[in-house]
Structure 1
Amino acid sequence: MRWASGSALLVLASATAACGPATQSERESASEQSYAPNVAPAPAEMAADVAGAPAGVRVTAAPGVAFNYRYAFSLPAERIAAAQEEHAAACEKLGVARCRITGMRYQLAGEDRVQAMLAFKLDPTLARQFGKEGIAAIQKAEGTLVDAEITGTDAGAEINRLAAERARLSEELARIDRELARTNLPASERAELQTQRAEIAQRIEAGRTSSGEQRESLANTPMTFDYRSGRAVRGFDAGAPLTSSLDLLAASAQATLAFVLGAIAVLGPPALVALIGLLVWRRFRPRVRRPKAAEVEAGV
């Protein structure tokens, strides 16, 4: 009976030790064996769709993938600044923990020609809905989405690869340390092992840096809005032949008027000087007396 109680206590102690807290290195190793982040699903209010918006990709459907969103809009030049400001305000409303503005550009390229850009870094769970709301704001400003691109990088797989490579290098480093601990090691061999150790340590540190960059790409989703001036969306298909013909007629008339005004601006001053000179010459030119008919007959 006493033997049975001792055995039970031994088994209980073994189970407690097995379930005890792991060391820091063991926890890191376990977390890096298979990286598949648990991304919280988007809130219910983010399920609303916007007409004409691209489908996008839910982060829950592709865990471990780092996405990059890019949208291009065309809208009237005078409304670009307001649309850009509305998008910036929407990001600021989310707070810096979930959305940060990382770049902005507004360029007046010519008469009624504007090019602008706004760049963000977003919480991955908000990127899809933020893009839809951005498109809706452009549509309200009588603009249109002309290009949408969503690219992804399998950052999770790269993190796992880097973790496996780091584990292999750590084993190699431990082997070299055991060799360096030998007291009878020749000086030339010791120098070679120390060189190898330094190189492996650098590779391990580079792997840690790269792994951190991949984790950063998973935690923050880049999004870019490009704006350019263009015609407003009409009540019928902008690609219809009638619309295209009207646009061509307007562009041709504008080009013709610009050419005429340019010609007047270039040739006007010389023509005015020539006209004034002609008037002066006609006013002060020498008058030649014509002979009378009697004088002509007498001369004949």
Structure 2
Amino acid sequence: MYRVSQKLALLSSSLLALSSCSEKPAEEAAMDAKEASYAGPQISATAAPNVAFVYDYAFSLPNSAVPVLQEQNAAACEKLGPTKCQITGMHYNLVRGGGVTGSLSVSLDRNFARSFGKDGVAAAEKLGAKLTSASIEGQDLAGQIAASKRGSTANALQIADIESQLKEPTLGDRERAEMRSQLESLRSALEESRNTQAASETQIALTPMTLRYYGSDEMSLSDNPITSAGGAFLASATSILTILLFGLAYGLPWIAVALLIIALWRTTPARKLRAFLMPTKPES
């Protein structure tokens, strides 16, 4: 009986150890999935080689952290070098009420866009920011590139054929002039096809990314409900005071005019004028 109890105890401890080991990887996987979803959508450049992507991230963070995060993102772009990342735009705005907004636009090598966005989200988290939106839009340019290549090949063949015919000494002047005119048109079409292909390839190779920053006072106070209520009360009181001040600003001049008219109406010249204009009839 003792041996049976000992075996049961050993079996129970083994099962508990196995269950704890299986729960740990599950928890880690759940945490990884949560972090991945918070970091926004991630698409590898190799998964869609002929798609031009456009990245857009938006963050909500304390007002004081907006310039800090903006500078960190700009420094990260400069660190990659001009061949991999270039800053194409930067905005910083102090809006009414003391709020702060900003943005940073960069043009990235498509192979570095995914990691740059991921690092940007991580840097934002360290400053207490929240990723409020993340989007990746893609345009498939495979068909456009293929059409440009076909057009270039066809135009090149026709150009070679006409150039060969122009070498014939028996060709008449009129036919030669027509062929040269056709040759110029084909060369223009060939250049246009090549430019279209080059533009599409450049659009695929360079990935635009915009990082938007929206500052708020409430975020800097860790979303405390009491503090938020106090902030709402202060905002309401400020609004009421503003309305009263505007009312006084617009109403005071009219009140002053009315008081001036009343004061003039009670003066001696005004009484004489009233008596002259509206004389009282003597009692019979």
TM bucket by the smaller chain? 0.5 to 0.7
Which of 93, 105, 117 does residue 79 from structure 2 map onto? 93
Query: 1:265, 1:53 → 2: CA distance?
Result: 50
Which of 131, 152, 173 does residue 187 from structure 1 map onto? 173
Query: 1:132, 1:265 → 2: CA distance?
Result: 52
Q: Secondary structure at the match of 1:54?
A: coil
Counterpart in the other structure of 1:61? 47
Which of 199, 204, 216 does residue 218 from structure 1 map onto? 204
When normalised by structure 1's length, the TM-score is 0.64
How many residues align? The count is 232
Q: Deviations over 1:233-291 (max 9, x none)?
A: 476799xxx99988866654432222123334445677689999999xxxxx9xxxxxx
Q: CA RMSD in A?
A: 3.7
Higher share in helix: 2
Counterpart in the other structure of 1:261? 245
* Unaligned residue ranges in structure 2 (runs of 5+): 1-34, 269-284
Aligned: 1:209 with 2:195: yes
Q: Deviations over 1:206-233 (max 9, x none)?
A: 2222222222223321111122334544
When normalised by structure 2's length, the TM-score is 0.67
Counterpart in the other structure of 2:100? 114
The farther-off stretch of 60-69 and 224-233 is 224-233
Counterpart in the other structure of 1:125? 111
Q: Secondary structure at the match of 2:49?
A: coil
Match for 2:190: what amino acid? Answer: I
Matched-pair contact (CA < 8 Å) for 1:65–1:155: yes
Counterpart in the other structure of 1:227? 213
Counterpart in the other structure of 1:197? 183
* Unaligned residue ranges in structure 1 (runs of 5+): 1-48, 280-284, 286-300
Q: Secondary structure at the match of 1:97?
A: coil
Aligned: 1:153 with 2:161: no
**Alpha-carbon distance, 1:76 to partner:** 3.3
Identity of aligned residues (%): 35
Q: Secondary structure at the match of 1:177?
A: helix
Q: Secondary structure at the match of 1:110?
A: coil
